[in-house]
Structure 1
Amino acid sequence: MRVVVADDNPVVRAGLTALLSGRPDIVVVAEAADGREACEAARELRPDVVLLDVRMPGVDGISALPYLVRIAPVVMLTYSRESEIVRESLRRGAGGYLVHGEFTADQLITAVRDTNHGGAHFTRTAAGALLAQVRQDADRGAGREGAGREGAGLPEGLGGAEASDGNLAQGSISSREQPASPADEVGWPQELSAISPHLLSRLQSNVGQSSSAGWPGGRAAVPDRSRFPLSAREAEIMDLIASGMNNQQIAATCFISEKTVKNHINRIFAKLHSTSRSEAAAKWLGTAWDQG
């Protein structure tokens, strides 16, 4: 099984590589220090599984996730335990979410192997966030009052913020959250929660649908894009635009020049009848007011 490890901390990368490579059925084919390197490695090496950190300089894990999941299953492996990050990772296609300090070495190996076979694993913090989302969706569906959404979005600096000078964003959030202290872990078993692929798909759909609150009549979790006659390459670039990447990041991810990216974007805007990135992204994601 071929694995790519993406984490900006070289000590963490080295430890994960040593741990995984110590198993006869696993080989780490590449290490990456940010999301862009992870995308480049995945595109070139076609791994079976990607282990992806959240907070990294340049292209963070949340921004790289939509591209990576089109190549291989991705497990988020991070110190970030905020519920909105867990939910956004799931919405963007993550097949698992493991928080450092909440699993053993053997449990990590099991999670990687299961992910390669279509399974999914979440540590207690991530599982708690998903459970809260399911309960919130149930409350909303039952029409209960006061079942407000938790968190309006991702913490500042995550998910594809574009640098004002047009260059790659240089990590608005550079420090990690520290893992909980041993005292904080008292009473919590260090074990992974495994869920079936079918349940994962339903959870991903539920998380996607949760963002429809406040829109007239709601919106579908998967927008209808059949009316947008984009080529495969244009659709790929539109996905990256919607994830928040700027032209330089898209060019690096797709191994094309910025001029080529601009040409693609001009054609995309014409086909989507849009005049800005935000308008095109809204139509592509199904969040535009006028969908007809």
Structure 2
Amino acid sequence: MARLSVLIADGNPVIRAGLAAILGAAADIEVTAQAADGREALSLTRRHAPDVVLLDVRMPGVDGISALPHLVMLAPVLMVTYSREAEIVREALLLGAGGYLVHGEFTADELLRAVHDAPLGRPHFTPTAASALLTELRTSSHPQRDVAQSSERMHNSVVFGLSSREVEIMDLIASGMSNQQIAATCFISEKTVKNHINRIFAKLRSATRSEAIARWLGTARPGVTGHG
């Protein structure tokens, strides 16, 4: 019987080794590769085509959430992480994660079951992740607000004349990312990011990141500047 191939992506080598030891003890699982960040995880996933990817959220360089939408196009992804915030759990699932396990809340057997079930589309959640998701769904289920925010964003993109790539980069700026993080997330050079930002700032008539964010999020109206 063919063994299930797994790629482990975690910024902590001790965690990687621990997960590899648990998985390696199973006769029908093989750890084919290990990655220290999202960019390496994507490269190794393309090279090895694993059956399952175990992905941490917080890693140096390209983090797990940034790499997730690219990874799920290549293999089922199971989040295995210390990050337990409701927003992160929700975002990971919206981006395609097939389960969410928080360290300290699962046994070796539970991890193995989650790995076996991932390619079958059967999600697994540890208690904190399940309750965080439930809480997030209860508190953030406001369709009218979501539609209003989407409408505002679309209105601003039209008003300011931003391209689809500039809209993507402006959203990343608004999320607090640095130029380096944006470059890694979009798989472009920092120089290209700077060129995009210069054009975005010109279109938004903004001199700083905070001013551009304010205009983009609608807290400052187009046509009104602080310089008269």
Shorter-chain TM band? 0.5 to 0.7
Superposed counterparts of 1:1-292, under 5 Å: 1-134=4-137, 136=138, 215=145, 217-218=147-148
- 1:243 Cα deviation from its structure 2 partner: 8.2
Mapped partners of 1:120, 1:238: distance in 2: 33
Q: How many residues matched?
A: 209
Mapped partners of 1:275, 1:73: distance in 2: 43
Residue 59 of structure 2 aligns to a residue whose secondary structure is: coil
- 1:58 Cα deviation from its structure 2 partner: 2.1
Contact between 1:66 and 1:240, CA under 8 Å: does it hold in 2? no
Residue 7 of structure 2 aligns to a residue whose secondary structure is: strand
Deviations 1:63-91 (A, max 9, x none): 22222222222111112222222222222
Contact between 1:63 and 1:245, CA under 8 Å: does it hold in 2? no
Contact between 1:51 and 1:77, CA under 8 Å: does it hold in 2? yes
Contact between 1:66 and 1:243, CA under 8 Å: does it hold in 2? no
When the two structures are superposed, what TM-score results if normalisation uses the length of structure 2? 0.66
Sort the Cα spacing of 1:274 and 1:92 in 2 relative to 1 into closer, same or farther, 3 A.
farther
- 1:124 Cα deviation from its structure 2 partner: 0.6
1:73 alignment partner AA:
P
2:81 alignment partner AA:
T
Deviations 1:14-59 (A, max 9, x none): 1111211222322112111122221222233222211111222222
Sort the Cα spacing of 1:37 and 1:245 in 2 relative to 1 into closer, same or farther, 3 A.
farther
- 1:265 Cα deviation from its structure 2 partner: 9.5
Mapped partners of 2:49, 2:119: distance in 1: 13
Sort the Cα spacing of 1:243 and 1:114 in 2 relative to 1 into closer, same or farther, 3 A.
farther
> Where in structure 1 are there 5+ consecutive unaligned residues?
138-206
Question: What corresponds to 1:152 in structure 2?
Answer: none
Mapped partners of 1:239, 1:69: distance in 2: 21
Mapped partners of 1:106, 1:8: distance in 2: 23
Deviations 1:101-155 (A, max 9, x none): 1111011000011011111000011111122234x26xxxxxxxxxxxxxxxxxx
Contact between 2:8 and 2:55, CA under 8 Å: does it hold in 1? yes
Sort the Cα spacing of 1:239 and 1:49 in 2 relative to 1 into closer, same or farther, 3 A.
farther
Larger radius of gyration: 2
* Structure showing the higher helix proportion among its residues: 2
Q: Relative CO higher for 1 or 2, CA cutoff 8 Å, sep ≥ 6?
A: 1
Sort the Cα spacing of 1:82 and 1:253 in 2 relative to 1 into closer, same or farther, 3 A.
closer
Mapped partners of 2:173, 2:51: distance in 1: 26
> Where in structure 2 are there 5+ consecutive unaligned residues?
155-162, 219-228
Mapped partners of 2:146, 2:190: distance in 1: 38
